[in-house]
């Protein structure tokens, strides 16, 4: 007795090996994700009309919070986004997967290209009233010219640069009272910078305090003290004439070093 082979209709072609493998990957990933979430579900898969794979999630016993049967939710949308990101890797079959809670989701609708905007209407032909309106327009021309001239003068006055305030780079020209404690401290720091060959900087100081520092270090040899930067980042920098390298113990080791010197 010969075995009869059922005929397949053109509307429902038999899934090939790659489609079965893709469904297996979807089932495995969804099962793992839902299991980690603590909300297992029975999966009902079918091929959608647009070529995607539709999956209905039948949660057992109850769906996660915020998920309603037959309605879209942020939880299901996020799960769908994560699943497609994990499936669409280089070298693998790119097929979109759509998820629905308790039922199959509606197929995606393709966006139709928007029609080009309608062209602007052509200007109307001049009528007989145009010559009559020409005379008032010509009479108003001198007044408009005067108004435009006044507007230009006002704009030039606004664009003129305002008088500059005292520049932050004029610390040495600022007259300030001497601060004995500050003078002793900064001179000691300047001598230390010159003796050890180290760079130092003092930040977050007002203009007057930077002026006191620059005045106090005058006469200290082996170091150059300047004000650098702008705005709140302006600082007083001590630069030694003979910089000295840091000791090896003070430097961070390279990435390929396994241990430190004792």
Has residue 152 been placed in a domain? no
Has residue 191 been placed in a domain? yes
Nearest to 59 by CA among 31, 94, 101, 93: 101
List of residues 6+ apart from 172 with CB closer than 8 A: 211, 214, 215
Could you say which of 70, 101, 132 is where a domain stops?
101
Domain CATH code at residue 193: 3.30.1370.50
Has residue 96 been placed in a domain? yes
Counting Cα atoms < 13 Å in the Cβ hemisphere of 104 gives 14
What is the C-alpha to C-alpha distance for residues 99 and 101, in angstroms, rounded to an integer? 7
Has residue 117 been placed in a domain? no
Provide φ and ψ at 185, rounded to 5°.
-70, -45
Between β-strands 97-101 and 53-59, what pairing exists: parallel, antiparallel or unpaired?
Answer: parallel
Could you say which of 57, 86, 101 is where a domain stops?
101
Could you say which of 78, 101, 124 is where a domain stops?
101
pTM: 0.36
Has residue 37 been placed in a domain? yes
Residue with tokens 């080791």: 253
Total count of domains within the chain = 2
**pLDDT 10s digit of each residue in the chain, 262 long?**
444 544 444 444 444 557 788 888 888 888 899 888 888 988 999 888 887 889 988 888 888 888 888 888 888 899 899 888 888 877 766 788 989 888 888 876 666 656 555 555 555 555 555 455 555 555 555 666 666 677 667 666 565 554 444 455 678 788 888 899 999 999 999 999 999 999 999 988 889 999 999 989 999 999 999 999 888 889 999 999 999 887 766 555 554 444 444 4
Q: What is the pLDDT of residues 50-104, one digit of tens each?
A: 878 899 888 888 888 888 888 888 888 998 998 888 888 777 667 889 898 888 8
Q: Phi-psi region for residue 79, left (φ > 0), alpha (ψ -120 to 50) or beta? A: alpha
Has residue 6 been placed in a domain? no
Q: How many Cβ atoms from other residues are within 10 Å of residue 202's Cβ?
A: 17
Work out the mean pLDDT of the chain and round it to a whole number: 76
Angle subtended by helix axes 207-216 and 180-196, to nearest 10? 60
Has residue 262 been placed in a domain? no
Q: What is the pLDDT of residues 135-151, one digit of tens each?
A: 555 555 566 666 667 76
Residue with tokens 């780079």: 169
Q: Determine the structural domain holding residue 211 and report its residue range.
A: 171-240
pLDDT for 138 equals 57
Which tokens sit at 17?
């090996």
Has residue 88 been placed in a domain? yes
């Amino acid at each position: 007795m010969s075995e009869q082979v059922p005929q397949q209709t053109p509307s429902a072609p038999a899934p090939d090996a790659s489609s079965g493998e893709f469904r297996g990957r979807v089932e495995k990933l969804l099962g793992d994700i839902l299991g980690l979430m603590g909300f297992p579900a029975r999966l009902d898969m079918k091929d959608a009309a647009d070529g995607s794979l539709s999956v209905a999630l039948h949660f057992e016993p109850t769906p996660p919070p915020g998920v309603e049967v037959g309605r879209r939710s942020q939880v299901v949308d996020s799960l769908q986004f994560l699943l497609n990101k994990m499936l669409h890797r280089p070298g693998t079959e790119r097929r979109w997967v759509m998820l629905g809670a308790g039922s199959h989701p509606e197929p995606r609708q393709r966006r139709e290209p928007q029609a080009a905007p309608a062209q602007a209407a052509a200007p109307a032909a001049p009528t007989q009233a145009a010559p009559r309106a020409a005379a008032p327009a010509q009479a108003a021309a001198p007044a408009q010219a005067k108004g435009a001239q006044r507007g230009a003068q006002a704009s030039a006055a606004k664009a003129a640069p305002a008088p500059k305030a005292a520049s932050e780079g004029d610390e040495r020209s600022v007259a300030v009272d001497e601060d004995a404690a500050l003078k002793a401290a900064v001179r000691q720091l300047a001598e230390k910078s010159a003796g050890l060959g180290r760079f130092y900087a003092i930040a977050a100081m007002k203009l007057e305090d930077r002026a006191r520092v620059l005045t106090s270090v005058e006469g200290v040899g082996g170091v150059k003290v300047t004000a650098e930067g702008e705005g709140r980042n302006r600082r007083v920098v001590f630069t030694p004439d003979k910089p000295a390298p840091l000791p090896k113990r003070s430097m961070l080791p390279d990435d390929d070093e396994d241990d430190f010197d004792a």
